[in-house]
């Protein structure tokens, strides 16, 4: 297969109208935080055991088409000695890899961030390909304040995402392009919509400049939602219909129909909230597949059920299968919260 065929095969294996992607690519400090919450030490063996559990869940391939792994996991094996990337692909779950190296302050733009990791990226990708990775993920982060993101922030982050994506495609690796507008802080839905539109506009402009093939990439954005806790009787959780309207409106303005799939991050929403909102978004729909690339919203119930104990593996697997299945229904706009207790 030549490079273009390889890219297309990976897109075909990742994108359909039902399945989604699991983000299991927590860096060492992040997985430590997740394990701390269940009083489990973050040792290499515990991380291996946990990620084996995720990938060995029977039937998971029915609902998930891809998994994003952390570098360490790509080099790990299950108890039977099979590399975890192979374990995933046995279920037709395509293994991918997070390739960015986290964020630092963006010089010249107080309050903005920029993501590290472009140096030596092509060499690292070649190693990951040998280890079985077929797609990659890179995340740029945009905090919202009264003055952020700045014009420089929009430009510099978009540039980096495009440089990364072009580097991946040159080597036959499908890039997941993740511009994450942070849901933290206080902002209303209008502000989130305005920022997300500017971010995506800049990202697609840069992708074009770098010659990125839109048909052979995946976009991983946040949903457009408010983040305000209002006091007293004004307090309301965001309405899924309102979130879906704003989210689709922004995409229609900025994301070309050539992009095959948009896979949301969960960004701190509860598992149920993330599923309800995905369902509302799919009830509107668009020219792209509208799917998931959830981390916390798929894994939180799994960690709670597992608690680091071998005797809980079955309960943990069914917690994962349940969330994956309900999100597959939400992909079709056929989910309702009553299904949580079925």
Q: Annotated catalytic sites, by residue?
A: 178, 220
Spell out, one character per residue from 294 to 323, where the chain touches ligand 13P: x when CB under 6 A holds, - when not. Answer: xxxx--------------------------
Q: What percentage of the chain's residues is helix, strand, coil (to nearest 5)?
A: 50, 15, 35
CB nearer to ligand 13P: pick between 227 and 266: 266
Which residue stretch of 233-241, 260-268, 278-286, 318-326 sits at the interface with ligand 13P (rule: CB under 6 A)?
Answer: 260-268
Closer to ligand 13P by Cβ: residue 33 or 208: 33
Residue window 178-197: x/- pattern of binding to ligand 13P, with contact defined by CB under 6 A = x-------------------
Nearer to ligand 13P, 15 or 297 (CB): 297
Our CB check for ligand 13P shows the closer of 7 and 23 to be: 23
Helix (H, G, I), strand (E, B) or coil at 204: helix
In the bound state with ligand 13P, the residue whose beta carbon lies nearer, of 23 and 158, is 23
Residues 130-159 that bind ligand 13P (CB under 6 A): 139
Contact between 23 and ligand 13P by CB under 6 A: the answer reads yes
Minimum distance from residue 121 beta carbon to ligand 13P (Å): 17
Tell me if 288 sits within 8 A of 317, measured CB to CB.
Answer: no
Least distance between ligand 13P and beta carbon 108 (Å): 25
Least separation in angstroms between CB 295 and ligand 13P: 3
Which residue's structure tokens are 């991946």? 168
Q: By Cβ distance, which residue is nearest to ligand 13P? A: 295
Cis amide bond preceding 271, omega within 30: no
Closest CA to 172 of 298, 9, 50, 58: 9
Calculate ∠ Cα 250-256-261, nearest 5°. Answer: 85
Longest dimension (CA), the chain: 61
CA atoms of 128 and 119, how far apart (whole Å): 15
How is residue 338 written in tokens? 């009553």
Q: Is 7 one of the binding residues for ligand 13P (CB under 6 A)?
A: no
With CB under 6 A as the contact rule, which of the stretches 158-166, 211-219, 292-300, 317-325 interacts with ligand 13P? Answer: 292-300
- Region class of 284: left (phi > 0), else alpha (psi between -120 and 50), else beta: alpha
| The only residue of 121, 238, 244, 265 in contact with ligand 13P, by rule CB under 6 A | 265
Number of residues that bind ligand 13P (CB under 6 A): 11
Single residue of 10, 52, 254, 266 touching ligand 13P by CB under 6 A: 266
Q: Using CB atoms within 10 A of its CB, is residue 201 exposed (0-12), middle (13-18) or buried (19+)?
A: middle
Q: Where are the alpha helices (DSSP H) in 19-80?
A: 28-36, 44-56, 71-74
Rounded to whole angstroms, the Cα distance separating 100 from 290 reads: 24
DSSP classification of residue 341: G
Residues that bind ligand 13P (CB under 6 A): 23, 25, 139, 178, 265-267, 294-297
């Amino acid at each position: 297969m030549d490079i273009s065929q390889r890219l297309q095969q990976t897109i075909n294996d990742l994108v359909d109208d039902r399945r989604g992607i699991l983000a299991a690519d927590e860096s060492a400090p992040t997985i430590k935080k997740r394990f701390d919450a269940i009083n489990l030490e973050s040792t290499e063996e515990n991380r291996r055991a946990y990620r084996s559990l995720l990938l060995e869940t029977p039937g998971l391939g029915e609902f998930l088409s891809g998994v994003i792994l952390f570098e360490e996991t790509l080099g790990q094996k299950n108890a039977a000695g099979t590399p975890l990337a192979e374990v995933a692909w046995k279920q037709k779950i395509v293994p991918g890899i997070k390739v960015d190296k986290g964020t630092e302050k963006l010089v010249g733009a107080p309050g903005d961030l920029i993501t590290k990791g472009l140096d030596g990226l092509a060499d690292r990708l070649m190693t990951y390909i040998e280890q079985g990775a077929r797609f990659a993920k890179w995340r740029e982060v945009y905090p919202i304040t009264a003055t952020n993101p700045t014009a420089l922030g929009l430009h510099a982050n978009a540039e980096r995402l495009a440089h990364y994506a072009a580097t991946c495609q040159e080597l036959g690796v499908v890039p997941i392009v993740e511009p994450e507008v942070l849901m933290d802080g206080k902002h209303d839905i209008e502000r989130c919509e305005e920022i997300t539109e500017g971010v995506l506009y800049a990202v697609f402009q840069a992708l074009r400049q770098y010659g990125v093939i839109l048909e052979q990439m995946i976009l991983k954005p946040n949903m457009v939602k408010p983040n305000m806790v209002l006091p007293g009787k004004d307090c309301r959780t965001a309405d899924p219909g309102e979130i879906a309207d704003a989210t689709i409106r922004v995409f229609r303005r900025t994301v070309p129909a050539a992009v095959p799939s948009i896979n949301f991050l969960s960004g701190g929403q509860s598992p149920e909230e993330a599923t309800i909102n995905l369902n509302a978004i799919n009830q509107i729909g668009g020219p792209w597949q509208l799917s998931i690339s959830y981390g916390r919203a798929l894994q939180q119930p799994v960690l709670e059920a597992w608690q680091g104990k071998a005797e809980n593996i079955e309960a943990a697997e069914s917690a994962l299968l349940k969330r994956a299945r309900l999100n597959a229904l939400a992909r079709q706009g056929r989910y309702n919260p009553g299904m949580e207790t079925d």
